[in-house]
Amino acid sequence: MSFLLVGDIGRKVNLSLLEAQEKNIRSVDDFRVIYNNSYPIQSYFSLQAIINKFKKDTPHNFNDYQIEKACFAVPGPISNNKKAHLNHVSITNYANLFTKLTNLNLFIDSTPKNKWKEINAHVLQKELDCQISLINDFEAICYGINFLLDSENSKDFYPLQEIKHKEKENQRANCIAVIGSGTGLGEAFMIKQNNQPQVCASEGGHADFAPRSQQEYDLYQYLLDKQKKEQNENNISHHISVERIISGHGIVDIYEFLLQQCQNSSECSAMPEDGFKRDLSTYKKEQGKNIPNTVDPAVAIAKQALFNRDELCQDAMNIFLSAFGAEVGNFALKTLPYGGLYIAGGIAPKILPLLEKQVFLSAFKDKGRMRRLLEQIPIFVVLNQDVGIIGAIFYADRFMREQVAQISYAGGEGALLL
């Protein structure tokens, strides 16, 4: 048996210490969770600090577990020492290999002590004295979905669009695409080669937002004006990424855009519901303080829309759902995931009743003569929020065994029989 340390980095850093069996990890029966814990990223200056806390929190003595491999799923592109953006990197040159976290600077402080802007694998290797691998967070989700599909647990996924063609038994042989909205917008896809998953991560969430209506164009102009106020006059960008709209931050921006329009119109009489006003007031008081927020305004807006309590919140979520559906459709056209299009991230499971309304699926299918093609793509919402950790487990186990296989191969032809 062997011991693995895996982590999934987002608003919270989820870490798990595992004991793996000698055989390949193919199901939950092939590993045992010794200890896991979750840490708010705002409370720590680096991943090393969280790992040190995790070591202290682990029952018994952490050093008694001889970690052979660690894998961390991180939000952003993985770069080697040439800073080339790769889908994933097996770390062999620790000295300069790091990853920049694309969205964390949106919600953590930027003091000199803050080391979250990059994760250096060389430092982690010294801390843990084991092999380290970093993978993109949505690459990990792809691996996790593949693992969950093998387990055939229907509770892990919720169908939004059922398959209409008859080749259900062959769906796994085709491409699978994953897209998800949370702090940002992630996109990746996976194909099978010789029954092995091959994953390609991307930074598609940073592609241009393309308005499809006058209202979306007005929203684009609102975000552009807001961006210009925040930027240096000598370095003004006209780029508004699609994740500026399709994310938790995007939901808040959409609501503020609609609120501004309402305040500037004599015909608008919409007033925030009292409970929602209190949530917004609390959020504004906590802004700028180095403490975890007790109120997530995006959650508050979605909740109001779910219960039909606030007109502006409902309008904001409709804009969000329409933009989200359109981008999911765009991604489906680019990848043709007949094996399934999986919607991951923290937002989708919380707004299932809204996703099932016509706004999302209508925007998804609204691709002209490609509409019938998109109707043949099954869509699922990923309900298992541990899917990133599960993917990191799969990758850590696979990477470690590939390293062993390479060492065995270097030992001579007879070593291959081992």
Residue scoring higher pLDDT (78 or 158):
158
pLDDT at 412: 43
Give the span between the Cα atoms of 158 and 338, in whole angstroms: 17
- My answer on whether 274 and 216 are in the same domain is yes
Residue 55 banded pLDDT, cuts 50, 70, 90: very high
**Residues of the domain holding 47:** 2-140+386-417
β-sheet bridge partners, residue 235 = none
What per-residue confidence (pLDDT) applies to 287?
65
Residues 393 and 317 in one domain: no
pTM: 0.85
Task: Indicate whether 169 belongs to any domain.
Answer: no
pLDDT tens digits, residue range 316-375?
999 999 999 999 999 999 999 999 999 999 999 999 999 999 999 999 999 999 999 999
User: Residue 318 belongs to a domain with what CATH number?
Assistant: 3.40.367.20
Looking at residue 82, what is its pLDDT? Answer: 23
Indicate whether 228 and 302 sit together in one domain. Answer: yes
* pLDDT 10s digits, 73-105: 998 888 752 222 322 333 222 233 345 555 654
Mean pLDDT of the chain: 81
Instruction: Identify the three-state secondary structure at position 136.
Output: strand
Q: Are residues 231 and 353 in the same domain?
A: yes
Q: Same domain for 363 and 410?
A: no
Is the domain of 363 the same as that of 252? yes
- Amino acid identity at 4: L
What six digits make up the tokens of 197?
């998953």
Flag the least confident range among 126-130, 196-200, 259-263, 276-280. 276-280
The whole-number average pLDDT for the span 383-410 is 74
Residue 398 forms part of a structural domain: yes
Which has the minimum average pLDDT: 43-52, 194-203, 397-406? 397-406
Residues 280 and 355 in one domain: yes
| Mean pLDDT calculated for residue range 225-242 | 82
Domain contains 162: no
Do residues 233 and 369 both lie within one domain? yes
Cα separation, 231 vs 240, in Å, equals: 13
**Burial class (CB within 10 angstroms; exposed 0-12, middle 13-18, buried 19+) of 411:** exposed
Q: How far apart are CA 65 and CA 18, in angstroms?
A: 9
Q: Is residue 221 included in any domain, yes or no?
A: yes
* Cα(188)–Cα(77) distance, integer angstroms: 12
Residues 366 and 409 placed together within one structural domain of the fold: no
Q: For position 11, what pLDDT does the model report? A: 85
CATH at 403: 3.30.420.40
Q: How is residue 7 annotated by DSSP?
A: E
Is 66 within 8 Å of 129 (Cβ atoms)? Answer: no
Do 82 and 115 fall into the same domain? yes
Are 66 and 101 within one domain? yes
Nearest one of 242, 251, 252 to 331, comparing CA atoms: 242
Q: Looking at the predicted structure, is the pLDDT value of residue 5 above 90?
A: yes
Residue whose structure tokens are 């004991």: 19
pLDDT tens-place string over residues 235-286: 678 899 999 999 999 999 999 999 998 888 777 766 666 667 777 777 766 6
